[in-house]
Amino acid sequence: MNYKLGEFVRFVDEKREGYITRIFSDDMIGVTGDDDFEIPVPANKVTRVHGHVYEQQVTDQNAAQSLAPSATFETKGIYLAVAPDQRKGSVVYFHLVNNTSFQLLVTLVTEKGKELKGEFAGIINPASATRVFTASLSELDMWPAFHLQALYFTTQNIATPEPLKIKEKFKAKDFAGAKKPVPLLKQDAWLTRLDEEDIIIDPVKLKESFFKAPEVKKEIAKPLQEVDLHIEKLRDDYQFLSKTEILKIQLEHFKKSLDAAIVHKLQSIIFIHGAGNGTLRMEIHKSVGRNPHVKTFMDARKEKFGYGATEVILK
């Protein structure tokens, strides 16, 4: 039996159930339960749970839609939205979002190594979104390349654009920005624009840009007394970041906050770095140890933070 990521299954030989969060092979899958612990299990040792429907699409692909002649005809606005599963964040769903007034005839083929695989073919109606692919965040580096093609169609007297042909290989940096609301999905997702917006040159604004006054120097905001450096507090896309990238982001935020504390002449500031493996704590101590504006530093309020925070006393 062929299972897909995100399906809800129950173990045959024991009282356990959960969502499929990894597919190792045709015969072996990974199932994650309420304890967030993934268990490898043979595919023939689980069964789908009745009532949990997989691949429920936001709109019915087979229901053709047409806009009223008086409606505004939208010619731009095609996105690929990558949304985490609201039950198990380790699974993400790829939705093709059609904000145009065209019907789209879409095909999606994935390429991994020299192997091509057809993943989706169908019609996506105007102002609708359809799930076209599912993947696991833990296997981001192994995601295939996407070959997506779309033909535009309308019965109205509107010129259709050239067919859309996209080849995309996603990397962690593609998810560096924050998720944005996608009304058609009723949740936030990472968005990739697939059709380019028309570039409109405004002669007046272009002329003004040559005589623009120099920018006013931005005022540095006063930092909080306690600065939390845990990565989930700093970035929304931390699941996609490597350990090296996480450390770099944390140190940049630390330095920015320390500089702001010095500018605002604070007496002290606390950095919450957690215990972990001690790498971030060590880098912070090295930095403040050679900073001429630092009087001393110490573990902050052990009864509250243990060894997970450092208090910096400024001169």
pLDDT band with cut points at 50, 70 and 90 for residue 19: confident
Give the residue from 180, 196, 212 where a domain finishes: 196
> Do residue 109 and residue 184 come from a single domain?
yes
CATH number, residue 243 = 3.30.1370.110
pLDDT at 118 over 80: yes
Domain span at residue 136 reads 78-196
> Do residue 113 and residue 181 come from a single domain?
yes
> Do residue 26 and residue 82 come from a single domain?
no
pLDDT at 1: 61
pLDDT at 314: 92
> Do residue 253 and residue 150 come from a single domain?
no
pLDDT at 59: 38
The structure tokens 């997702």 sit at 189
Residue 214 lies in a domain: no
| Distance, first Cα to last Cα, the chain | 68
Q: Which residue has the higher pLDDT, 54 or 270?
A: 270
pLDDT band with cut points at 50, 70 and 90 for residue 128: very high
Residue 207 lies in a domain: no
> Do residue 276 and residue 233 come from a single domain?
yes
Residue-averaged pLDDT of the chain: 82
> Do residue 260 and residue 304 come from a single domain?
yes
> Do residue 29 and residue 92 come from a single domain?
no
Count Cβ atoms within 10 A of the Cβ of residue 96 and give its class: 0-12 exposed, 13-18 middle, 19 or more buried: buried
> Do residue 84 and residue 42 come from a single domain?
no
Residue 155 lies in a domain: yes
Q: Residue 277, Cβ neighbours under 10 Å: how many?
A: 9
pLDDT in tens, 242-268: 888 899 999 999 999 999 999 999 999
CATH number, residue 162 = 2.60.40.1600
Give the chain's domain count. 3
Nearest-angstrom CA–CA distance, 96 and 37: 31
pLDDT in tens, 65-101: 333 443 689 999 999 999 888 776 678 889 999 999 9
Closest CA to 121 of 152, 164, 81, 150: 150
DSSP label at residue 308: S
CB 271 within 8 A of CB 309: yes
Residue 141 lies in a domain: yes
pLDDT band with cut points at 50, 70 and 90 for residue 141: confident
Residue 57 lies in a domain: no
pLDDT at 235: 86
Mean pLDDT computed over 16-24 = 80
Q: Which residue has the higher pLDDT, 35 or 99?
A: 99
Residue 63 lies in a domain: no
Among 67-71, 117-121, 238-242, 307-311, name the most confident range.
Answer: 117-121
Nearest-angstrom CA–CA distance, 260 and 73: 49
Mean pLDDT computed over 155-174 = 88
Residue 202 lies in a domain: no
Q: Which residue has the higher pLDDT, 147 or 5?
A: 147
pLDDT in tens, 170-208: 877 777 677 889 999 889 998 889 997 655 556 666 566
Among 19-33, 175-189, 194-208, 213-227, name the most confident range.
Answer: 175-189
pLDDT band with cut points at 50, 70 and 90 for residue 209: low
> Which residues does 275 contact at the CB level (< 8 Å), separation at least 6?
281, 306, 307, 308
> Do residue 190 and residue 233 come from a single domain?
no
Q: How many angstroms separate the Cα of 218 from the Cα of each of 186, 214, 221, 223, 234? A: 36, 12, 9, 15, 21
Could you tell me what percent of the chain has a pLDDT over 70? 84
> Do residue 96 and residue 170 come from a single domain?
yes
Residue 32 lies in a domain: yes
> Do residue 161 and residue 230 come from a single domain?
no
> Do residue 119 and residue 34 come from a single domain?
no
Q: What does 164-233 look like in DSSP terms, one character per residue?
A: EEEEE---GGGG-SPPEEETTTTEEEEEEE-SPPPP---HHHHHHHHTPPPPPPPPPPPPPSEEE--HHH
pLDDT at 285 over 60: yes
Which of 60-74, 100-114, 132-146 bottoms out in mean pLDDT, i.e. has the lowest? 60-74
pLDDT band with cut points at 50, 70 and 90 for residue 213: low
pLDDT band with cut points at 50, 70 and 90 for residue 308: confident
